[in-house]
Amino acid sequence: MLPKIVFLDRATLSVPLRPVNLPHIWVDYPLTAVDEVAGRIADASVVVTNKVVIDEKLLSRAPQLKLIAVAATGYNIIDIAACQARGVRVCNIRDYAQTGVIEHTLMLILALRRQLLAYRAAVQTGAWQRSSQFYLAGPPLHDLAGSTLAIFGRGALGAGMAEAAQALGMQTLYADRKGASSVRPGYVAFDEALARADILSLHCPLNAETRGLIGAAELARMKPSALLINTARGGIVDEAALLAALQSGQIAGAGVDVLSEEPPRQGNPLLNADLPNLIVTPHVAWASVETVQKLAAQLIDNVEAFLQGQPRNVVV
């Protein structure tokens, strides 16, 4: 019997997928609602999912399932323990988004440090046109060179971010785990990193250790002139606390590409704010054509490797 490969949310990838170069049956769906998942994976050997949740209950209704290929780096949508108990392998996408995510992170940092939104609004409202001199004096601008970037997460993205920042003249440091009893070589204690950072950039997965990593207490330890940048996962930051910190001047600004619920159908505190020091983008740091093409190629490579008996990028 040919292995059946089911892609539950094909519409999440905006580029063509090359065919799997092995005998198989391929079925894909643009999107899959919660109540449709069980029926669609019931006879699947391989399930491909970007954001469709696969839990223990669904696994119990897919007796032929051998592999879940996550079309993303984060795999918090998968019940890993249940997969391990049932002998279902899980693989993910790795080290594909350094260029896209790092460029997006730098874009957010530059836009905030150079007050892009405030000055664009000033031009649109005619403030520059009414100025008494050749330039418009307004919110203070800051160079990146000489500033300190604290990075949480030292994988490919965190390391790439450090390299890019150093090329722009920034000093970089890696924050150690929150609450760590000792500081690892090459790291700075978490609280010290918060206090020293001109910019704190998050590049870590969302898990039990990092959920709620940045809340009111952590924001209070940061400089009033500091920025928080999150292109990782929304649940890492307490969004209500972040909004309060921005409104009170506890920190100078924030750029986020991710929210705790996506899409934010129930609303979100950060979406209700009209602040010149807050930029929210709709989880698109990874979504450049070139970056998605790398993801798509690796996804098919992962599936082929498993079908050939040589699993790669395995989580469990």
Is the bond leading into 264 cis (omega within 30 degrees of zero)?
A: no
Query: Residue 86 is encoded by which pair of tokens?
Result: 């049932």
Whether 237 and 261 have beta carbons less than 8 Å apart is answered as no
3-state secondary structure (DSSP) of residue 2: coil
**Contact partners, residue 53, CB within 8 Å, separation at least 6:** 34, 37, 77, 78
Report phi then psi at 281, rounded to 5.
-115, 155
Beta strands in the chain (DSSP E): 4-7, 25-28, 46-49, 67-70, 89-91, 148-152, 171-174, 199-202, 227-230, 253-256, 278-280
Q: How far apart are CA 272 and CA 137, in angstroms?
A: 28
Catalytic residues, by residue number, are 233, 262, 283
**In the 3-class helix/strand/coil scheme, how is 14-52 assigned residue by residue?**
CCCCCCCCCCCEEEECCCCCHHHHHHHHCCCCEEEECCC
Q: How many CB atoms lie within 10 A of CB 87?
A: 9
